[in-house]
């Protein structure tokens, strides 16, 4: 659908892979969760980002809260693997965030 096209896209059309990809498989739920987890880990200073280590607890909290909203809104609609990955990631990120906040307050 072009910008000037007045026709509404069907759900199947909206979910088609975008052109110009690098050949990697389309993103799925688990890949999205892992990507958000990696972002939060960079923000927590647990792993280096493109610019090295840079702790940003405000953005780390924001990333974790996005995953929490995703958990709430997807309840009952995930496969066992998807649910397990999401819960593991959330538990790990919450613990790391709490530990990091404790270090900055001490």
pLDDT in tens, 39-87: 999 999 999 888 888 899 999 999 999 999 999 999 999 999 999 999 9
Angle of helix 29-43 relative to helix 57-74, nearest 10 degrees, comes to 160
**% of residues, the chain, pLDDT over 70:** 83
Q: What is the maximum span of the chain, computed from C-alpha positions, in angstroms? A: 58
**Is this prediction's pTM over 0.85?**
no
Find, among 63, 53, 83, the residue nearest to 71 by Cα. 83
Find, among 102, 90, 100, the residue nearest to 66 by Cα. 90
Confidence of residue 106 (pLDDT cuts 50, 70, 90): low
Whether 104 shows a pLDDT value over 90: the answer reads no
Whether 92 shows a pLDDT value over 70: the answer reads yes
pLDDT confidence of residue 103:
76
Whether 1 shows a pLDDT value over 60: the answer reads no
């Amino acid at each position: 659908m072009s910008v000037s096209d007045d026709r509404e896209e069907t759900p199947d059309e909206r979910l088609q892979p975008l052109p110009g990809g690098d050949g990697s498989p389309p993103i799925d739920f688990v890949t999205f969760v892992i990507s958000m987890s990696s972002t939060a880990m960079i923000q927590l200073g647990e792993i280096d980002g493109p610019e090295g280590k840079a702790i940003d607890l405000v953005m780390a909290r924001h990333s974790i809260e996005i995953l929490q909203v995703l958990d709430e809104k997807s309840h009952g609609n995930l496969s066992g693997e998807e649910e397990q990955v999401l819960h593991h990631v959330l538990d790990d990120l919450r613990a790391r965030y709490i530990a990091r906040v404790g270090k900055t307050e001490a």
